[in-house]
Structure 1
Amino acid sequence: MRTAGNGRGTGRRAVRTRVRALAAAVACAALLTGCPGAGNGDGEQEGRSPFTGESVPDASAPVLAVKIDNVAAARPQTGLERADIVYVEQVESGLTRLLAVYSSDLPPSVGPVRSARESDIELLRQFGEPAFAFSGAQSRLRPVLEDSPLHLMQPGDAPGAYSRSPDRSAPHNLYLDPEGVLDEAPDAVSGASDIGFRFGPAPQGGRADTEETVRYPAARYAFTWSAEDGRWLVSIDGREATAADGGRLGAPTVVVQRVEIRDSRFKDRGGSVSPYSQTVGSGEATVLRGGRAYEARWSRPSAESGTEFTTPDGDPVDFAEGQVWVVLAPR
């Protein structure tokens, strides 16, 4: 995978490395001195990722979102296992694509990269102004994307960070170097911040559950609890989902967020209407962790605000530390 080869990108990479090193030193000093103020009432903790709850060198590193192909010809994908959050979105013909969010850990390669949808704009606004890597969009959607506050990073914006794999046929063979993309991204890219996730001990109650299935018109996801791995292992369309290196995909927390999926204003090249998953508003959700399922409510008052998940009594539903899958399921 090629990387951006200009001095500006190299300088930005060096700056980020120094910032992360300084953040790690500050966090270490705080632990040694036992200084107060390690967290706040909002559930954020210094030195911990607001997306995974895990200890990281830089809890406010730049946010990069990548649109990833998910048809059979695109599997196994590369780099999904190191995303902080993986969103599942419905697209045309009842199929799905994935939107992977990175901040605390950047793999050397991610892909296959595919095109954006209108839903991505609303979904990503809760991350501030992140970098958004994708390959193309419907012609009428392009000006809408350009008017959004997202930092669009298509192959033309960072050509040195994208490459085609000779092992797959187009369009399922475009991959990116996340570090290279961020080297070319504007300095104003938002860092990781609170998007409403809370991490801590499992809630009271819930029901024993070792497998949960989510169906779309032409796709099916199954999440099977593995006590040995401490994760919900992912299967797609009846087959185990794996990373390109052969490891099984899975996450300690899976959120099935039931949303309204309606027709958008746009169509694909074949004339099929693109669905729009509405992530602003409120509705029901199921949070899977530790071999149990917890019924919850989700609430997001505006595109700029995060998404909160609460019990029927209004208490936060804490997630387990680690990667989170959010399945935007039909209501």
Structure 2
Amino acid sequence: MPRPHHRSLTFLVTVISSTLLAGCATAPHQNRSAAQPSASGHSSSDVTTLTPAPSPAVASPLQVFPLTGMPAGGPNATRPSLAIKVDNVAGSFPQAGLNNADLVVDTPVEGGLTRLFVVFQSQDAALVGPIRSARPVDGDLLRLLGGGYFAYSGANNLEIAPVKANSTAVLMSFDADNSLFIKLPGRPIPHEIFDSTTRLYARGEQLAPTMGPPHQIFTYSPAPAAGTPTQEAVVRFAAATADWRWDGQRYLRWQDGRADILTDGSQVWATDVVILRVTLRDSGIRDVTGAVEPWPTVIGSGDCWVLRDGVRIAGRWSRSSLTAPMVIRDNAGRVIPLRPGRAWVELAPTSAGVTFS
């Protein structure tokens, strides 16, 4: 069943989204250097421009969108990726904008919960959120994309240091410039911060106008895949559950036993679901309760499963270094292609239960 309040929120989203889009067309934000204070009085040291990594030699983004493998066209084909950190715990539902993203990575955080790393390039979303704080793994994921833009709401110095050091991304945070973000009325704190991709792209382009399109992470093929027929995959984190069910055309998502419904009333879906087994290392950071903040390891190797076309393909993922691409291969050593479309990646800790039916 849809989560509470999504009907009233749909009305709010419609009104606020229209305001946002109109504002973007008439009042672009003033460009601030990283050393200047924002209008809110906060230091804008978290708005960081770094030299972007060069794009690899892959198929021209004018032919396909790098993060979906879908035919490309228009100005979006050459723009950078925009990653946004979105909350995924009680109080954050319903979320907004997830079905417009090219790629979503579900990452473990403290307390056995998860948080979403939501990546846009081929499409825009009038509203995305709730936007929450960054985590160390974001730097490793951003480097896979070749940098791009990254929007988040807060992060302490220990959390954001690896992102600044590893990502080659342009960072845009609520703490540095809260005029760039909006607060939805009626949402509980700290789940009230949202924004539109149009506004965030406009700010990113002010800070790094020459940044190119993202690296291609996966390979794609429309040819039907051979694998084990699978109708459902469930990933059981310590305090959260992600459940994906094949409906004959795509994968629909359930979160913690309930249909994952967005503010517009649609259920979260994906063309492909990639499950990566990862180890969790101690980041050295503790939350206010003293719980360890884990750092999922996306450099190295581990087991993986790819769900596409109603079948499951088992294999291994590998990434030799921070600057190397990630490759997923089946048990015969062949690269596993995804079906062109939108993908979700579940970073499943080695302790997490993963079941298929």
Classify the TM-score, shorter chain. 0.7 to 0.9
Tell whether 2:138 aligns with 1:117.
no
What is the identity, as a one-letter code, of the residue corresponding to 2:142? L
- Taking structure 1 as reference, are residues 41 and 62 closer, same or farther at Cα in structure 2, changes over 3 Å only? closer
Q: SS in structure 1 opposite 2:77?
A: coil
Q: SS in structure 2 opposite 1:269?
A: coil
Instruction: Select 2:231's aligned residue among 210, 220, 223.
Output: 210
- Taking structure 1 as reference, are residues 206 and 281 closer, same or farther at Cα in structure 2, changes over 3 Å only? same
What TM-score results when the alignment is normalised by the length of structure 2?
A: 0.78
Answer yes or no: is the 8 Å Cα contact 2:136–2:160 preserved in 1. no
Deviation, 1:313, is 2.0
Q: SS in structure 1 opposite 2:187?
A: coil
- Taking structure 1 as reference, are residues 200 and 41 closer, same or farther at Cα in structure 2, changes over 3 Å only? farther
Q: SS in structure 1 opposite 2:179?
A: helix
Name the counterpart of 1:285.
304
Mapped to 1, the partners of 2:61 and 2:77 lie a distance apart of 9
Segment drifting more, 50-59 vs 181-190: 181-190
Instruction: Select 1:307's aligned residue among 310, 319, 326.
Output: 326
Mapped to 1, the partners of 2:65 and 2:237 lie a distance apart of 31
Cα deviation 1:99-135 (Å, max 9, x = unaligned): 1001111111110000111111112111112211111
What TM-score results when the alignment is normalised by the length of structure 1?
A: 0.84
Mapped to 2, the partners of 1:77 and 1:204 lie a distance apart of 32
Q: SS in structure 1 opposite 2:156?
A: coil
Deviation, 1:46, is 3.8
Cα deviation 1:262-293 (Å, max 9, x = unaligned): 22121122221101100011111100011110
Deviation, 1:141, is 2.7
Instruction: Select 1:150's aligned residue among 157, 169, 182.
Output: 169
Cα deviation 1:17-40 (Å, max 9, x = unaligned): xxxxxxxxxxxxxxxxxxxxxxx9
- Taking structure 1 as reference, are residues 296 and 46 closer, same or farther at Cα in structure 2, changes over 3 Å only? farther
Name the counterpart of 1:75.
93
Answer yes or no: is the 8 Å Cα contact 1:8–1:183 preserved in 2. no
Q: SS in structure 2 opposite 1:74?
A: coil
Aligned-residue RMSD, C-alpha: 2.2
Mapped to 2, the partners of 1:106 and 1:157 lie a distance apart of 23
Deviation, 1:42, is 5.0
Tell whether 2:279 aligns with 1:260.
yes
Mapped to 2, the partners of 1:330 and 1:168 lie a distance apart of 31
Deviation, 1:50, is 1.2
- Taking structure 1 as reference, are residues 146 and 65 closer, same or farther at Cα in structure 2, changes over 3 Å only? same
Identity of aligned residues (%): 34
Answer yes or no: is the 8 Å Cα contact 2:61–2:213 preserved in 1. no
Equivalences for 1:5-44 in 2 at 5 Å? 5-6=27-28
Equivalences for 1:87-126 in 2 at 5 Å? 87-126=105-144
Q: SS in structure 2 opposite 1:166?
A: coil
Instruction: Select 2:314's aligned residue among 284, 287, 295.
Output: 295
Answer yes or no: is the 8 Å Cα contact 1:160–1:180 preserved in 2. no
Equivalences for 1:84-233 in 2 at 5 Å? 84-148=102-166, 149-185=168-204, 186-187=207-208, 190-202=211-223, 205-227=226-248, 230-233=249-252
Deviation, 1:53, is 1.0
Name the counterpart of 2:68.
52
What is the identity, as a one-letter code, of the residue corresponding to 1:193? P
What is the identity, as a one-letter code, of the residue corresponding to 1:263? D
Mapped to 1, the partners of 2:287 and 2:334 lie a distance apart of 41
Q: Structure 1: which 5+ runs fail to align?
A: 10-39
Deviation, 1:75, is 1.0
Aligned length: 299
